[in-house]
Structure 1
Amino acid sequence: MEITVNKTIEDSLTQAVSYSKYRELVASLASEGRSSAPQQNEQMSEYTVLNERRMKRWDKTIKISDDTLSALKNLERPVTWLVLTESWCGDAAHALPIMNKIAEQTDKIRLEIVFRDQHEDLMNMFLTNGGKSIPKLIVIDDMNSDVTGTWGPRPKPATRMVSDYKEKFGKITPELKQNLQVWYNKDKGQAISEELIELLPLELVSNGS
């Protein structure tokens, strides 16, 4: 995938916030009993409070594997990770802290975050099976301004879990959501880390002869 960065992406980047700022915003919304959704309701507010707790826990406990750290040393050129999300999104609460933790390990990854419902044009450029699924990460090569890949809304094992469940039961249920949370907690971010590293422009290292 190679899409030249256009005005929509450029405009979104000018309005994006850092991870630390995003965390401040979500924490503030949670404390006020609100969410980032355009239309406020109790369910979205409850999800925001829950996600604030999840992110706070992940920020403290996530460990980056030696393989990931080794791969980041071979990052050839700088990239920007632009992520579409919302405070109420459960998958984002697991994924964003991992993205941030990886980005903190190198000065060649810049993580920027925007709210989906405030950036509809951008979201429509990066649909998943025709839907506005989040989180959606867009990888931008800073050297040539090309979009070189995307990720989201879930790592492959979790995506299969959802797909299999929907095929069997026809819809997403609270039981499935609970099963997903259990899976995320057991995986500890490893699947997401591995998939994100695959999207980076890594220098091929020769083992010599």
Structure 2
Amino acid sequence: MSFTYTHQLIDSAYTYTAYRQKLDEMLSLPPADAIAEKVRPHIINNIKLMEEYDHSYQVFDSLKAALEKAPATTWLVLTEGWCGDAAFNVPMLHVIEKAIPEKVKLRVLFRDSNLDVMDDNLTDGGRSIPKMVVLSEDLQVLGHWGPRPAELQTLLKAWKGEGLTLHDIIPRVHAWYNANKTYTLQTELKTLIELYS
């Protein structure tokens, strides 16, 4: 790890609410270029998903119990509004923060404007998101999570190995998340929290 985390960086990052507002603001403006126009439908769809999950997700008692024994931390998440995995996972991180704010401070960075941070947190050499870095109060790295639950990551590699296209894979990913109901995410977070407690 070579990147040095600073309070200035954390202070400049978005709260989850500000991140959601920023996405709405981005959609209120005409697309800046062809790429922005291409990802726009994904952002619109992801906002609908986040709206639903912001209200339906619940924190498991076992995860709450693990957090209650843990030190206070900052969960710094690299993401983008078009990222499908983020739409399923980041709302859960926010629900956790709301449930136990004295233990979790969630902050969000846009990946593409923070590549120095992203490049210190690659997955298999790629800039996969969402990627969460857990930081202590003195901003030491305590752990990582992302870009998706490990079981789904394994399935995704297998599906790509079978030659399936993104068009074929996306419905499978959505079906996995909907069936799993954050169970694997919350289980992985509990394990992570226990490691730094």
TM-score in terms of structure 2 length: 0.90
Task: For 1:148 and 1:39, locate their aligned partners in 2 and report how far apart those are by CA, in whole Å.
Answer: 39
CA RMSD after TM alignment: 2.3
Q: Is structure 2 residue 87 aligned with structure 1 residue 90?
A: no
**Cα pair 1:83 1:138 within 8 Å, conserved:** yes
Shift of 1:202: 6.8
Task: For 2:76 and 2:179, locate their aligned partners in 1 and report how far apart those are by CA, in whole Å.
Answer: 27
Could you tell me which residue of structure 2 aligns to residue 207 of structure 1?
none
Q: How many residues align?
A: 196
Task: For 1:57 and 1:10, locate their aligned partners in 2 and report how far apart those are by CA, in whole Å.
Answer: 32
Shift of 1:43: 2.5
**Cα pair 2:78 2:111 within 8 Å, conserved:** yes
Alignment of 1:11-90 (within 5 A): 11-32=8-29, 34=31, 40-75=35-70, 77-90=71-84
Which whole-Å deviations, capped at 9, do the CAs of 1:27-79 have from their partners, x for residues lacking one? 232344659xx86443200000000000001011112122222222222x111
Shift of 1:81: 0.4
Could you tell me which residue of structure 2 aligns to residue 179 of structure 1?
172
SS in structure 2 at match of 1:125 = coil
For 1:59, give the aligned amino acid: D
Closer, same or farther in 2 for the Cα pair 1:186/1:140, shift >3 Å? same
**Cα pair 1:5 1:145 within 8 Å, conserved:** no
For 1:53, give the aligned amino acid: K
Where do 5+ consecutive residues of structure 1 fail to align? Answer: 205-209
Task: For 1:20 and 1:165, locate their aligned partners in 2 and report how far apart those are by CA, in whole Å.
Answer: 34
**Cα pair 1:64 1:102 within 8 Å, conserved:** yes
SS in structure 2 at match of 1:177 = helix
Task: For 2:34 and 2:190, locate their aligned partners in 1 and report how far apart those are by CA, in whole Å.
Answer: 36
SS in structure 1 at match of 2:126 = coil
Task: For 1:196 and 1:172, locate their aligned partners in 2 and report how far apart those are by CA, in whole Å.
Answer: 30
**Cα pair 1:29 1:48 within 8 Å, conserved:** no
